[in-house]
Amino acid sequence: MPNRINVTRSYLPDKDLFIRYIDRIWESHYLTNQGPLHEEFASKLSDILGHINVTLTTNGHLSLDIAVKGLNLSGEIITTPFTFVSTTHAITSNGITPVFCDINKSDLTINADLIESLITEKTTAIMPVHVYGHLCDIEKIDNIAKKYSLKVIYDAAHAFGIEKDSLSISQFGDVSMFSFHATKLFHSIEGGALLYRDKNLESVFNAYKNFGLENEETVEYIGGNAKMNEFQAAMGLSILPHIQQIIEERKVITMRYREKLSDISGIHYFTPDANPSILHNYAYMPILVDNEYFGFTRDYLFEDLKKHDIYTRRYFYPLTSDFACYREISSGTNLSVARKAASQVLCLPIFNGLEISMVDRICSLIRNVSK
């Protein structure tokens, strides 16, 4: 389908550079179990993300799972329903109850003003999401966590490369999880990472990602297999030198979208980079479609664009809390802002190599959907 435009397309690095890393795998005969490329990748990530501890894993979901286990959490974790279901699964699969908190209309992140009212004697942590790379109210969340002695795990799957006040967002909270899935701004085909300041967590996280093994004779934890292999590390190492170029190219695309969408009634987009303290990554291009002013629903626009081979995504619809496996847990919870956002949100195509002329065409199709 050469004419099809998907919401994203995986970035591929220079093939010769990737092959040079692959050649090193053939030379070392290391394929997994924290080989030399794995160690080099972890070291370079630490350097660019604030010289912080890094644990690499095979994917972001298992990173979250390991963080929950490694911090020895239990009882209840306060989180957002406006996220990919992986966030919530990482909580419930560990026998913990997710407590859903509504979101902010302004940026669709967890409403920190509501968190304190949801804390009970069973609460052990908060798991906010930097959705679309929009930063949560990290200062307010930090203050609440300190007041009630709670842990904070940030789902930063969308937030690679973002900084606040010249600090990587990995510097905030107890742990931040990054996803390196192929659809992400930065990827290692599949992959994930935990970043954290407490060096004591390193051995615990490493054990949980390797069957709970501390050494050949000692199994301290009930762990699984979440080790990143050398081929994943090779891809990450090949892309890492290009990350600033990747972000800059996506910024150009984002600015063009904003320019072309700015005067369309009922179409709202977000500008997290308007805050001078934020260095944004332009990973996603979400819009909200207000049918009262636009004249058509989000779902109508979604289907209309498909007729023109433009495949957007309704991230995140339905809400996690509305899936069958979570309806009973969320019953009676006021999630009115999140529910409205889920009915209006549409992520437009954005990826490196997307031509500006195609951005113009997409915006023209949105403008003329009724014609």
CATH number at residue 251: 3.90.1150.10
Q: Does 208 reside within a domain?
A: yes
Burial 258-292 (b: 16+ CB within 10 A, else e): eebbeebebbbebebbeeeebbbbbbbbbbbbbee
Q: Quick one: pLDDT at residue 196?
A: 98
Helix 36-48 and helix 15-28, axial crossing angle in degrees, nearest 10 = 130
Q: Which ranges of the chain does DSSP label H, i.e. alpha helix?
A: 15-28, 36-48, 60-70, 85-92, 112-115, 138-148, 201-208, 230-239, 243-261, 291-294, 298-306, 327-330, 336-344, 356-367
What is the arithmetic mean of pLDDT over 89-95? 98
What is the arithmetic mean of pLDDT over 119-146? 98
Domain range for 286: 242-367
Angle at 162 between CA 160 and CA 167, to 5 degrees: 120
Report residue 225 as tokens. Answer: 């297999």
Q: Does 3 reside within a domain?
A: no
Backbone angles phi, psi at 69, to 5 degrees: -65, -45
Q: Does 174 reside within a domain?
A: yes
Mean pLDDT, rounded, of the chain: 97
* 27/134 same-domain check: yes
| Bond before 323 cis per omega within 30 degrees | no
Q: Quick one: pLDDT at residue 3?
A: 85
* 70/192 same-domain check: yes
| Per-residue pLDDT tens digits for 280-310 | 999 999 999 999 999 999 999 999 999 999 9
- The residue behind tokens 């996506």 is 250
Are 250 and 352 a contacting pair, CB within 8 Å?
Answer: yes
* 161/47 same-domain check: yes
Domain boundary among the residues 225, 241, 257 is at 241
d(CA 346, CA 132): 12
Q: Quick one: pLDDT at residue 113?
A: 98
Domain count, the chain: 2
Q: Quick one: pLDDT at residue 89?
A: 98
| Per-residue pLDDT tens digits for 228-250 | 999 999 999 999 999 999 999 99
Give the pLDDT band of residue 370 (cuts 50, 70, 90): low
d(CA 182, CA 10): 6
Q: Quick one: pLDDT at residue 215?
A: 87
| Per-residue pLDDT tens digits for 190-203 | 999 999 999 999 99
| Per-residue pLDDT tens digits for 44-66 | 999 999 899 999 999 999 999 99
Give the pLDDT band of residue 371 (cuts 50, 70, 90): low
Q: Quick one: pLDDT at residue 2?
A: 58
Evaluate if residue 345 carries a pLDDT over 80.
Answer: yes
N- to C-terminal Cα separation, the chain: 26
* 327/340 same-domain check: yes
pTM beyond 0.95:
yes
Q: Quick one: pLDDT at residue 78?
A: 98
CA of residue 67 relative to chain centroid, distance: 15
Domain boundary among the residues 191, 215, 241 is at 241
Evaluate if residue 149 carries a pLDDT over 70.
Answer: yes
CATH number at residue 89: 3.40.640.10
